[in-house]
Structure 1
């Protein structure tokens, strides 16, 4: 089985293969971002996946990867430490620089935030750094180890359960944390800094954000995440972070590119699995991008339109556009059209004007709100025109769907 197109591997700090995901917008990326996940998390954590998807919507390309020994990456986690994580970020930059272009934005979640602050000085092309719930001092992570930290120092290593999973941690990991000089490193950053933190973060106290902000020189900004939790488990929190981050980063990376990648063929829509969930799909049409998914109740991530949502959207958009075109031709004072649609399966016998009398049929209810200083006759005519929209006609006519196997690439 071949990997989804955005799954890649590159050599990490130890020379082992690191598993990564490169998410790209349909258009030429306005810039690339490198995302570092939280301690013992992975590139596919909810925060990483949701922030990446939202940044792609804003035109950014995003590379996120599993640190050595985590997720799909090779290597032994026990041999890693904070410094090796920083080295992995530099290795990821080297791959991105060679294959596309170096990241202009560095983003780190939790300990990943401390890691991008440390790696920033080694990534000359990076213009901006954003941290999310990051500790000021990487050694802060020791509190997660509890009493096991004493055992690690006494015995040289110990197995620790973190987030319900066992990890073997060595004394060199603790020694490396203790050797970090965060204040000096942040003071020398010389890059724009954006600090996200929630006052209700129970893993990394917001005082850490204050210390990061105080140590940094301008330009620097702080955004409170209000009621968000440390892992950004609410989609709205991740979307908010991405939206603010994209707007802020635009000052340092320039406007969105207007040119689409490759040759744009009118009427061609491409749908491919995103690799982020059981059903999540990336949809592109020329320079435009959409995401489709199924609700969580049926095993999806609820990260986009359902297939039937898209069907209704096509009919609704076509209806509104057709009414607008007709009103402009007639020079009628149409102000606004709002189309609300619903789809359901009903028993054929319940449909009075349907030819089919057995089994179930599809029923679409379409409600059209026409705003404007229009006469009753004009409104009635617009309602007649609604049935003449091209998508409506397509749905009511015979459709030939031809399916073939794509040629191997």
Structure 2
């Protein structure tokens, strides 16, 4: 995904820090806003994984630090739940002015409670997703129950949340109580996806049940079984992201697919890690490296993709030939293995460093075919276009292009 740093002002004129992540072709089909959990920031790994799943389907995702958190200006001690909702409104206004009004709101934990309320104020929103969200904003007070007495007496107190210290003022407590009294899920008349884990130790899953019972249709619930509150395991956030991307396609009106911003056939984008987006004119996928070499293992490696191209081309070529001959070919399975081996016959073999690429290809053919037909298909396999490309000299011309 293409990530750029942006800033926008909240209702108090303070700069909020954000990241806007776009699809690899830089032409979003729709925009989304991600509201993170109480005291979290936009750089949480789980948020990045969910955002990546959405950018793969054409969304641009804005995730930002609420007032006083992360790189945003302001004093967290002087913020309240209402200010989070105002920040969401400011984020929506920013997208509308600079890009396009958001159609999707995603909220994690208290951010989920915030997007439910903010969706009533942001008219462009067409769908809402909550992850581990409390059914009442006042729930967040349970994170510092032991300090409530001191906050009531002194007007403020320093509390410890997830190993970090925060100054909490009484105005936050009062605001959460008022928000709890005023929120009404019946007012939300937009598609809603509720995601929650039965193992959530911070926000009990009964909160999801309350939201689901009170919300109007269309509404959906997906269990994030085995996940913790922060989706700290990669497989949990990747699962959540894929589910959201699939679910939202039913409810969001997307723009028609845009052509690539290039005169070439493929665009790839690699950023802070090995994880690389690959996009053709109509399709997108992820390439990566295994964990043992420093990758995130979110997709096939470059050499696996290289082998896959040969396998796909082989299968398609045999399918085309058999169809033309009207042969009863049912299925083709191509097994491939790439490796580098020392060349058996070369001028520099004595140096011990010369290697060549070797791809082993084993073809399985299913169908009521004669031995002669199978042998002919084996011959045709060696004529597939990608096979011929590998066997012919390939010239790669490389030059820099200005961004």
Q: TM-score range with shorter-chain normalisation?
A: 0.7 to 0.9
Q: Does 1:272 find its partner at 2:269?
A: yes
Partner of 1:99: 98
Distance 1:33 1:69, change over 3 A: same
Which of 277, 291, 296 does residue 291 from structure 2 map onto?
A: 296
TM-score of the superposition, structure 1-length normalised? 0.86
Greater Cα offset, 132-141 or 49-58? 49-58
Q: Is the 8 Å Cα contact of residues 228 and 237 (structure 1) preserved in structure 2?
A: yes
Residue 353 of structure 1 deviates from its aligned partner by 7.8
Q: What aligned pairs does 1:2-401 form with structure 2 within 5 A after superposition?
A: 5-15=3-13, 16-24=15-23, 26=25, 29-181=28-180, 184-254=183-253, 257-261=255-259, 265=263, 267-273=264-270, 275=271, 277-346=272-341, 348=342, 357=349, 358-359=352-353, 360-401=355-396
CA distance in 1, matches of 2:283, 2:4: 18
Aligned CA-pair RMSD: 2.8
Greater Cα offset, 176-185 or 299-308? 176-185
Q: Is the 8 Å Cα contact of residues 16 and 66 (structure 2) preserved in structure 1?
A: no
CA distance in 1, matches of 2:4, 2:365: 44
Residue 201 of structure 1 deviates from its aligned partner by 1.2
Residue 232 of structure 1 aligns to a residue whose secondary structure is coil
Residue 20 of structure 1 deviates from its aligned partner by 2.0
* Structure 1 segments unaligned to the other structure (5+ residues): none
Q: Is the 8 Å Cα contact of residues 340 and 356 (structure 2) preserved in structure 1?
A: yes
Distance 1:372 1:236, change over 3 A: farther
Residue 356 of structure 1 deviates from its aligned partner by 7.0
CA distance in 2, matches of 1:93, 1:230: 26
CA distance in 2, matches of 1:260, 1:179: 45
Structure 1 residues 321-360: Cα deviation after superposition (integer angstroms, max 9, x where no partner):
22222223333222222222222344x1xx6688874334
Residue 110 of structure 1 deviates from its aligned partner by 0.9
Structure 1 residues 229-267: Cα deviation after superposition (integer angstroms, max 9, x where no partner):
22223444334434443444334324x5543245674x5
CA distance in 2, matches of 1:354, 1:340: 29
Residue 323 of structure 1 aligns to a residue whose secondary structure is helix
Residue 34 of structure 1 deviates from its aligned partner by 1.8
Distance 1:304 1:205, change over 3 A: same
Q: Is the 8 Å Cα contact of residues 23 and 62 (structure 1) preserved in structure 2?
A: yes
* Structure 2 segments unaligned to the other structure (5+ residues): none
TM-score of the superposition, structure 2-length normalised? 0.88
